[in-house]
Amino acid sequence: MVWLGIICTEDKGLPSDFQRWLVKNIGVAEVKEIVHADHMPMLSKPQELCKFLLEISSKFM
């Protein structure tokens, strides 16, 4: 299984340093970063999230 991740730079629940630690220790293959996105990027940055999800899903089609 390939793990892909998205880091939200303004997440107050999971600070970006902790998100990066998770990425490093879980073995995520590819990471996208959404600048100024909070814990719910589908509300704070929906267009950027959609763009990244489409990029990720296109690799598996």
The answer to whether 36 touches 45, Cβ cutoff 8 Å, is: yes
Query: What is the tens place of the pLDDT at every residue in 32-54?
Result: 999 999 999 999 999 999 999 89
**pLDDT score of 1:** 67
**pLDDT score of 41:** 96
Instruction: Quote the pTM value.
Output: 0.82
The answer to whether 28 touches 1, Cβ cutoff 8 Å, is: no
Domain residue ranges in the chain: 4-58
**pLDDT score of 12:** 95
Distance from C-alpha of 49 to C-alpha of 1, rounded to nearest angstrom: 22
**pLDDT score of 20:** 93
Query: What is the tens place of the pLDDT at every residue in 3-39?
Result: 888 999 999 999 999 999 999 999 888 899 999 999 9
Tokens matching residue 43: 């509300």
